[in-house]
Amino acid sequence: TPIFTFENITYQYADGTVALKDLTLSIDTGKKIALIGNNGAGKSTFFLLLNGIIKPTKGTILFHGKNLAYSRKEIRKLRQQVGIVFQNPDSQLFSSSVYEDIRFGPKNLGLSPERVKKTVDEVMKRTEIEALRDKPPHFLSIGQKKRVAIAGILVMEPELMVLDEPTAGLDPYYSKKIVDLLSEIHHKDRTIILSTHNVDLAYEWADEVIVLNDGELISKGTPWEVF
């Protein structure tokens, strides 16, 4: 079963803007997916639907084949299993140090302090931010902030990681480092979706490409099929 199936999803904002129109697609487990589309194509709206921050205006979303009814329990599960790294990392870095920031999620899960420490240390190592441990996140470079934000999500071990333009604002060297990190943390049970304007990146990194334009699905397939 796909992790998500969208059936005829329409999303309209309060001011009447239709951000997604009759979108039907599924997200298969374990894929590396690139979502491509111009500004205003509906990418962020799509992401907000994936983690239950917003509810479709019309249509049905299936999560692991089950119709999402948006009960509190389902929403809690969805938020645990779908982690979003927002485009502006400042919106999700709020602690006084990098370490505290990454510790926040696991600590709230009620794990033992030893377990929390072990998990946080592992993730910091994996994302190569150990040297930033005691720094206040606000003073980091944009690329460093992105790594910290990714670590803060990764530490929760979500089955789906969603990244809104993870390479925006990074020079080619740091873009590549972020993309390499995303390939490294991907595995058969962890699906990763990123949005990007960078067609080369999508071509090289993704197993699957989804193209949105003006709220509509234009194309979905392997990079080879889509481009």
Interface positions with ligand ADP (CB under 6 A)? 13, 15, 17, 19, 37, 39-45, 128-129, 131-132, 141, 143-144, 147, 170, 174, 177
SS3 category, 140: coil
**What single DSSP character describes residue 80?**
H
Q: Cα–Cα distance between 206 and 210 in angstroms, integer? A: 10
- Residue number with CB closer to ligand ADP (10 or 29): 10
Partners of 82 in the beta sheet? 160
- Residue number with CB closer to ligand ADP (128 or 184): 128
CB of 73 to ligand ADP, least distance (A): 27
Could you write out the DSSP letters of every residue in 169-202?
A: T--HHHHHHHHHHHHHH-BTTBEEEEEES-HHHH
- Residue number with CB closer to ligand ADP (76 or 133): 133
CB of 41 to ligand ADP, least distance (A): 4
CB of 173 to ligand ADP, least distance (A): 8
Amino acid symbol at 53: I
CB of 44 to ligand ADP, least distance (A): 3
Between β-strands 58-63 and 82-85, what pairing exists: parallel, antiparallel or unpaired?
A: unpaired
Rounded to 10°, the helix 113-126/98-108 angle is: 130
- Return the residue nearest ligand ADP (CB atom): 143
Cβ–Cβ under 8 Å, residues 52 and 75? yes
- Residue number with CB closer to ligand ADP (37 or 52): 37
CB of 188 to ligand ADP, least distance (A): 26
**What single DSSP character describes residue 17?**
-
- Residue number with CB closer to ligand ADP (8 or 108): 8
Q: Cα–Cα distance between 25 and 216 in angstroms, integer? A: 11
